[in-house]
A and B are shown apart, each in its own frame.
Chain A
Amino acid sequence: MADSLQTPRSRWLTRLVIFVGAIYVFLAAIELFGHSFKMLGESRADRLFCGLENPFAGLAVGIIATAILQSSSATTSTVVAMVGAGSLSLTCAIPVIMGANIGTSVTCAIVSLGHIAQNAAFRRAFSGATVHGFINLLTVVVLLPLELITARLLPNGGILETAARWMVEHLPLESSGGTFKSPIKQAVKHFADGIETLFREILQALGLIDLPDSASGITGTAPGQSTLLASLLALVALVMIVGSLIVITKNMKALMADQIEEWLNRVLTRSGLLGLIIGMVVTAVVQSSSITTSLLIPMFGAGVLGLEAGFPIMLGANIGTTITALLAAAVAGPAGLTIALVHTQFNLLGALMFFPVKRVRQIPVFLAHQLGAAAERNRLWVVLYMVSVFVLIPIAGILIWGK
């Protein structure tokens, strides 16, 4: 195989095939994930996610899940699958999506720690990392309360949810009898069904379940058995989602490295719309905002990229990363598409809030500068920032909001 991959052309073609294959596996995994939650049954899924009625718990789940998976795309696409399967309500899912945005900035912060031994470089790198965190935090600080307040005033959820529902209602989606008819969904369904059959047969062979064929449904079987199969399938789907996203990201980064280098060179000393567009395109291509933002950290550290020039790239990365959830929505139905659109709106509004007006733009930049300077003087600020953003704030929110 190695010999056949010697020429750049054959490597390029191989990577293209891998990309298409990984996208297919990703979509099949989303289908399988949603299916496993349907299998769990509404009542059990409801019990599993009843804690998310508290929006700060949802926010905490989004932050922690993304920080652990190191991928907001994995979190948002699983949320899309769960919403699409009807296991998680749109209202509960919105804070999780917002939390995923905050959680993704942990990757940058971790990368910036590589400069910790050099004061000046660390100050610049940590400022660069935290500007991403501050953008996402401040966007949540504005939009989460707005969503919660408007949810009490509007009949169909908060303003983001209502707007997303309106968009989906007005999209020319093909449906029949309330069922979402997506050709992509049909294309991946056989693969997802095949995996389900495989694992059912394995569990049957092990004597752990005696379920009938899925074609006849799973109703009427012992609840413990269906839970076992559903949990196993959910786990397999999650591994497939994360695995396919890793393959897509690594593959596309390797494929596009030269182009990404050229684009980044163009925005090094500029601050503006071009940076935002490049951040968006690079992230959409590699399907990972963490990759885009982490690439910037060594540039911040070396001082060749200033916070003002890097800031729009971060905003663009936030918008670009929403493509994964939109992609997942292709197999998750109208509800899945609605939450994916909420994600897109959230990041677009974040960019609209912080990009056009210079004084507003300077808020996260100023905060990041100050935190970077404080961290240069005393490294405890790093610990304080990480613990506050990723642990204390969500816990405090849960406690304040109550059950």
Chain B
Amino acid sequence: MFEWFLSSTDTGAPGLERMRAQFGQMLDAGRHIFDTASNAFLGGTDLEVIRQDLFDTDKRINRAEQQIRREIVVHASVHGTTEFPACLVLMSVVKDAERVGDYAKNIFDLAASTPHPPVGEHREQLVKLKDRISGMMATCREIYDARDRDGAAQLIREAQEIEDVCDDHIHGLLAAERQVDLPAAYVLAYRYFKRATSHLRNIASSVIQPLDKLDFPSKPSETSEESEAEEEEVVE
């Protein structure tokens, strides 16, 4: 009878929304430095011009991650267990957003270490992948903000495809018998693209997966339906 009295009138929604907005900004910043670093690797950008901006943005992402973690502790201290699962999900996805920034930095380091930009077939592949991943980053934010379950399932499927493409290229390069220019650079680039995509997939999975299954996505075709079925089981 008195549950409503003991539960907070203030639901904690503003605090959570504030943290989610900060998380959205982390994703935007991650996309910015991913694009910048990838363009630098693929050619056409003076590394020294973008270096400072890229490293400053990465620092901002790291600071935002720490800020969100602090705010999660404050939120949990003030609101108790009301929003506990949402806090844990945020704790997990901010790490993914921060890792996207780290991979962008790795791509920049790769650009600085290679003697010339990629050429030929691999350049074309990498440009296509970069565009798809960059688009996914924007979509990922929208999906997360809107709690769009269908969109999340779609993004997870697309992420899986990109990861498979990256894996195929890596295996192809490792097994290649003919001489390829900059093979190590290509392997690393595909690897970084794949890892950045995986983190986006983790973020999207938080929209539809139960907390314990975050970072362990089901097969793309099963993701949405399985989670719903499991939720129904729990309700029953």
**Residues in A lying within 8 Å of B, measured CB to CB:** 2, 5, 8, 11-12, 15, 18, 250-251, 253-262, 264-265, 268-269, 295-296, 298-299, 302, 304
Contact = CB atoms under 8 A, between A and B. Distances in A.
Interface in B9-49: 9-15, 18
Interface residues of B, number: 24
A262 B18 CA distance: 10
B10 A304 contact: no
A295 B9 contact: no
Contact of B71 (A2, A18, A256, A265): A265
B74 A261 contact: yes
Chain B contact surface mostly: helix
Contacts of A257: 8-10, 12, 78-79
A254 B9 contact: yes
Contact of B15 (A258, A268, A298): A258
B78 A260 contact: yes
B10 A265 contact: no
B194 interface: no
Contacts of A261: 12, 14-15, 74-75, 78-79
Contacts of B71: 265
Contacts, number: 71
B143 to A, nearest CB: 26
A304 B6 contact: no
Contact of B6 (A18, A254, A256, A269): A254
Nearest to B78: A261
Contacts of B73: 298-299, 302, 304
A296 B15 CA distance: 17
A2 B74 CA distance: 30
B9 A11 contact: yes
Contact of B77 (A2, A8, A256, A298): A298
Given A258-B15, A268-B70, A8 B9 contact: yes
B141 interface: no
Contact of A5 (B4, B11, B74, B77): B4
B89 interface: no
B69 interface: yes
Contacts of A253: 8
Contacts of A5: 4
